Amino acid sequence: MASLARRFTILAAGTVLTASFVQAGEVSPRITVGTQEIGLTAGYLLGHRLTELHTTKQHGPALMPSWMMTITDPIGDGWYRGQVSLGAEMVYIEFEEPLLTHGVGFTPRIKYMFVALDRIRPYVEFAGGPFWTDLGGRIHEEATQFNFVLTGGVGVSWFLTPQLAFNAGYRFHHISNAGTAYPNLGLNASLPFAGFSFFF
């Protein structure tokens, strides 16, 4: 996974350097209803112990491929003018602590992207869905391997070309089994991330 993260970083740096030669006047994204977005995002999970009962501090790399579709024309006026997209995302996490374990999930996703700044477009996003991990049942916060993951975050898309954007941001992750078994303290973490989206 570390090798994959290095390759992704090299690809990101190369794309940004190449895009620096694109003149600003040539970059004006035209995202309309029905525009689709394919994204690949990577980050590093940093666990939080929110109560004294939480003792596990999990961390590790995460990879999140996604697909979305824009479902509205720009809504509103002023700084909050933006568009809504719906889609789905897969998430893979390699937990390096307290044990080398893995997790994989599938989440429907909703995003609101602010469009007032043209090339630079901040956004807010939410996602949630089923999540399986072999860390569950081996720590006292989670009793089961089948869980759910909920995420909420903020980010910004910098359009390098009208179809290609570099994304960076932050997500808060919560993993729990929704009370289907006990104990169910849940795992909480921050996930800073970066990646690319292609619009067509």
Q: Measuring CA to CA, which residue among 156, 136, 157, 159 is closest to residue 146?
A: 136
Are 101 and 61 spatial neighbours (Cβ–Cβ below 8 Å)? no
pLDDT on residue 139: 84
Domain boundaries, the chain: 2-199
DSSP type of residue 136: T
CA distances from 95 to 56, 72, 134, 175, 183 (A): 11, 37, 10, 13, 20
pLDDT on residue 133: 94
pLDDT along the chain (200 residues), means of 10: 52 48 64 97 91 81 98 93 98 91 97 95 98 88 92 98 97 92 89 98
Q: Has domain 2-199 been given CATH number 2.60.40.10?
A: no
